[in-house]
Amino acid sequence: MSAAQVVNLLVAALLLAGVYAIMSYGLALAYGVMKLVNLAHAGFMMLGAYLTLEAFRRLGLDPLLGAVATAGVLWLVGMGVYWLLVRHVPTGDEPTLPSLLLLFGVWLVLQNIGYLIWGTQDQAILTPRTLQTLRLGPVTLPVVRVLVFLVALVGLVVLHLVLGRTWFGRAVRALTQNRQASRIVGIDVGRTAMLAFGASTAFSGLAGGLLATLYSFNPDFGGPFLLRSFVIIVLGGLESFAGVALGGLVLALLETFSVLVIPAGYQLALSFGLLVVALLVLPGGLPSLFAWRRRL
């Protein structure tokens, strides 16, 4: 394999990692604040993809803008779901089984509403950009992937600013670290949880919309990405936002380069194999490798 090919694959992996990271932030946020394993994540991603498609077909909205607008819509949807359903199930310091099953039910409902509205056939968003490429010396860059990467990057920067600089962000981080102590210092847990759940679904929607510009999709399309998100947040140590980015990169690299040795049909199995290995060998995720940060 030539050096140019290696560089091409590296770039492809990096571009993929951006989407993977943004897709996993929603899951990490819901886990961190509420200790929820949000199985409905897949359903919200599907919803994001279809809303982006509808905005593109009916309103002629550019899919990248559409994905961002969709994120806004899904913020509201997520807060609604939280207010209506999620706040009624018990949550604790560890994810509870009722919350897992509840969100699984939400996934089933969303998925099948998707089937009812949009049918079973695969859809794709095709714009003039879809097949364009950018050549930088020996490296070929698909334009749409670069743009998606940039949008994902902006999303990540916004998230980091919000988490780092605002009262809401500080409340989220406090809740992630210690629920009880956060209550004592006067954080409104219910309100923060609702906003965070909304933000989590907004990220799911954004990721869904962005993925829709890269791949074809049907109402079932969230499933494999949900599992990838799990792999990523488990690799990332479940609660560390930097870990999520790292996890996304590791999975993207592994998937991209494994094509060289493993038949493409087994690619999915690879990431799930990685999940099991990660859960067993590294229950603390990649950050636990940097032991000095964990073992205080």
Amino acid at 3: A
Name the nearest CA neighbour of 125 among 50, 223, 20. Answer: 50
Nearer to another protein, 19 or 238 (CB): 238
Tokens 């949807």: give the residue: 77
- Answer for which of 4, 59, 76, 101 binds another protein (CB under 8 A) is 101
Q: How far is the CB of 240 from another protein (least distance, A)?
A: 17
Nearer to another protein, 72 or 283 (CB): 283
- Please list, in sequence order, all residues whose beta carbon lies within 8 angstroms of the beta carbon of residue 293, skipping any fewer than 6 positions away: 287
Report 125-154 residues binding another protein (CB under 8 A): none
- Answer for which of 8, 61, 73, 104 binds another protein (CB under 8 A) is 104
Name the nearest CA neighbour of 230 among 71, 15, 16, 28. Answer: 28
Name the nearest CA neighbour of 64 among 156, 131, 130. Answer: 130
Nearer to another protein, 164 or 283 (CB): 283
282 makes contact with another protein (CB under 8 A) = no
Q: How far apart are the first and last CA of the chain?
A: 45
CB 189 within 8 A of CB 33: no
Binding segment (CB under 8 A) for another protein, from list 50-58, 123-131, 179-187, 260-268: 260-268
Q: Which residues bind another protein (CB under 8 A)?
A: 37, 85, 88-89, 94-98, 100-102, 104-109, 111-113, 115-116, 223-224, 227, 230-231, 234, 263, 265-266, 268-269, 272-273, 275-276, 279-280, 283
